[in-house]
Structure 1
């Protein structure tokens, strides 16, 4: 029987640049830390992971209705704080419902509807390039930011609008930097002379491998390469910017591209398990091709940003720094939840500043994609259920680094490139069974193999060296080169 080789390009989420040691020091020791349990304070207030707090906030928003006035995550106490207003005179019932659910309750003055009305006033009267605004649930007010370009009559227009809303509803502050999308010319993922960062690998609605990046990158160029002046590897399918978001779906040109759901920070690979809504107060990490790994907190949700190119709504506001070229890069939590895509901001990673992100959940829904590879073979030794789970370890060679033995693919016939006979060959067609690590490619070992051999027994991938190139950013591209 002849064995058919299956071409699979290996792509990994890894934005270029050296990881910031401060953020890495926070991320590395705590990546698997559990924060479940009950607080030592009020027994009714639960100690929660950030992702669980986000889920609880969504549930309470539905449960409390008009009484819900926002929420935020107390990172120090690992608690969800929920703002409530006494809209019906039944304050005690509202408080009891929220506390039973495990939240810490705080009574505030401004309702969600009042805050939304104030935001509409700002949109109508203060839409000036260089400004942004978002609700800050910690103060129960709208925080308006004006960058260094907002001066003279433009400043007077914004400032007077904020004053008409009242000090109890909105505040304004100046930012030293210039608010702009963070795209640049250089080295990472390249298109039309622009440099951006790859965000998260996804599976498009038609089942093809793709990735998310910033929308302003997607409208800047149609085709993208993983090296400067290199051949295109992906083509923009959909892009939104400006308007209701800043996101783009870019499909890999090779339909056999393996696109694992993970972020390579340069010091460790963080598996991305799911997309999640942001919660104010949550600690988040950003990976970008210019500045590497940096961390900070979510400051506001549903932010409106008035870039020179136009207004973008529905963004996440943070105090994480970023610089040109970081656009599109991944925003995630230490427990592997995908949160956002880098849009733009002001400042830099020397003096600091604010950065805005496109929510991943909104982008996925808009483009009809799902996070990761849809179980079709991420090539991850710790991979979950589905085709090819566990067929290839992190080095891409199919060898267990501790035992030196071939890694067995999980699942039934075809799932781990091993059929009932253990030879990885379809008995009807005589061809190699395809999966996340099939018997004929990428070190997806069958049961007869020693050390990750393919069905021909030579232990080699398409390059003939038995290894795939690991995503270590040597070229700053954020995407592995295939062999």
Structure 2
């Protein structure tokens, strides 16, 4: 196997989890009052990050609000009873820098039936075709790769095998093409010529196998999401909706690939939010490139 794990560059450091979050639509609960910023600076915010990482309550996400010294914690409808008490206890001493927001729906990965690549009873979305210069691969979400070792098209043609997987912590899988299925370096009709990092305010689109092409805006970076299956950090938060089965879907800005879908909340009927694993981290970790 030609796939080699490359040294991640210093510019792609382990992401500190003061990070981007999301607001589900429609939101019926109001955010808790935001206290005025007092003191403590970065050291206090780093302390908040450590406390929230330690709490790690499923059904929550948290992020540093862009352009502020506040951290917002999101709690979905499953966070009740002991779970709610746990997160409230974790942030009680930090009311000057932390606010709690409740959202409808449940935070979850996008794994379900009805997608273009499948195997082992699971169906997901092919994210991006890549190469190491000799062999060809596609990238999808890690929670998909955890469930599937051999991939097929929906009509049963062999696509390839999962050769690398990272979930939780990260959320990506690398699948090597071993069948005869064609694999173009495009997202639908959109040619992809480069990969890059997203930025807040960027206009972006996602192409999901269930949702189709959906476009929106990057709202924040470096999100930490506590899925029931485990915590994933360093994600891109957008206001793009997604549906179960879109897992692994590519996020892009024109010809530039930015990430693959990890998970989200809501849906494409009432609205929602989605989180994406940055693509640069994946490519750098395994010495891969788009084509």
Q: Do both proteins adopt the same fold according to a TM-score greater than 0.5, normalized to the shorter chain?
A: yes
Name 2:92's counterpart in structure 1.
Answer: 163
Structure 1 length as normaliser, TM-score?
0.50
- Which residue of the other structure, out of 51, 72, 75, is the alignment partner of 1:146? 75
In structure 2, relative to structure 1, the CA distance for the partners of 1:349 and 1:70 (3 Å cut) is closer
Name 2:280's counterpart in structure 1.
Answer: 361
Does structure 1 residue 239 correspond to structure 2 residue 169? no
Paired residues of 2:158 and 2:181 also in contact (CA < 8 A): no
Q: Which runs of 5+ in 2 are unaligned?
A: 1-10, 12-17, 21-37
Does structure 1 residue 279 correspond to structure 2 residue 199? yes
Does structure 1 residue 259 correspond to structure 2 residue 188? no
- Which residue of the other structure, out of 113, 116, 124, is the alignment partner of 1:196? 124
In structure 2, relative to structure 1, the CA distance for the partners of 1:208 and 1:305 (3 Å cut) is same
In structure 2, relative to structure 1, the CA distance for the partners of 1:112 and 1:236 (3 Å cut) is farther
* CA displacement 1:280-300 (0-9 Å, x = unmatched): 221211110001011122222
Rounded Cα–Cα distance in structure 1 between residues aligned with 2:145 and 2:58? 21
Paired residues of 1:202 and 1:259 also in contact (CA < 8 A): no
Rounded Cα–Cα distance in structure 2 between residues aligned with 1:289 and 1:139? 36
* CA displacement 1:361-410 (0-9 Å, x = unmatched): 111112221122xxxxxxxxxxxxxxxxxxxxxxxxxxxxxxxxxxxxxx
- Deviation of the 1:325 alpha carbon: 0.5
* CA displacement 1:261-298 (0-9 Å, x = unmatched): 2211xxxx222121111212212111100010111222
Rounded Cα–Cα distance in structure 2 between residues aligned with 1:213 and 1:70? 23
- Deviation of the 1:145 alpha carbon: 0.7
Paired residues of 2:208 and 2:250 also in contact (CA < 8 A): yes
Name 1:39's counterpart in structure 2.
Answer: none
Does structure 1 residue 178 correspond to structure 2 residue 106? yes
Rounded Cα–Cα distance in structure 2 between residues aligned with 1:238 and 1:219? 10
* CA displacement 1:225-266 (0-9 Å, x = unmatched): 1114x03211111011112x1001111104x765332211xx
Paired residues of 2:124 and 2:246 also in contact (CA < 8 A): yes
Rounded Cα–Cα distance in structure 2 between residues aligned with 1:170 and 1:274? 37
> Which runs of structure 2 are paired with 1:42-191 in the superposition (5 Å)?
114-124=44-54, 126-167=55-96, 169-191=97-119
- Deviation of the 1:121 alpha carbon: 1.5
Q: State the superposition RMSD in angstroms.
A: 2.4
Paired residues of 1:109 and 1:140 also in contact (CA < 8 A): no
Rounded Cα–Cα distance in structure 1 between residues aligned with 2:186 and 2:43? 38
In structure 2, relative to structure 1, the CA distance for the partners of 1:257 and 1:191 (3 Å cut) is closer
> Which runs of structure 2 are paired with 1:320-469 in the superposition (5 Å)?
320-333=240-253, 335-372=254-291
Name 1:89's counterpart in structure 2.
Answer: none
Specify the SS of the correspondent of 2:111: coil
Name 1:220's counterpart in structure 2.
Answer: 147
In structure 2, relative to structure 1, the CA distance for the partners of 1:358 and 1:188 (3 Å cut) is same
Larger Rg: 1
Paired residues of 1:209 and 1:258 also in contact (CA < 8 A): no
Rounded Cα–Cα distance in structure 2 between residues aligned with 1:141 and 1:113? 13
In structure 2, relative to structure 1, the CA distance for the partners of 1:299 and 1:160 (3 Å cut) is farther
Q: Which structure would you say has the larger RCO, counting Cα contacts within 8 Å and 6 or more residues apart? A: 2
Specify the SS of the correspondent of 1:286: strand
Rounded Cα–Cα distance in structure 2 between residues aligned with 1:319 and 1:122? 24
Q: Which runs of 5+ in 1 are unaligned?
A: 1-57, 59-68, 72-107, 373-483
Rounded Cα–Cα distance in structure 1 between residues aligned with 2:210 and 2:43? 39
Rounded Cα–Cα distance in structure 1 between residues aligned with 2:255 and 2:98? 34
Rounded Cα–Cα distance in structure 1 between residues aligned with 2:185 and 2:165? 21
* CA displacement 1:183-211 (0-9 Å, x = unmatched): 1022411111111001111003x620111
In structure 2, relative to structure 1, the CA distance for the partners of 1:110 and 1:141 (3 Å cut) is farther
Name 2:5's counterpart in structure 1.
Answer: none
Rounded Cα–Cα distance in structure 2 between residues aligned with 1:70 and 1:156? 22
Paired residues of 1:209 and 1:257 also in contact (CA < 8 A): no
Specify the SS of the correspondent of 2:258: strand
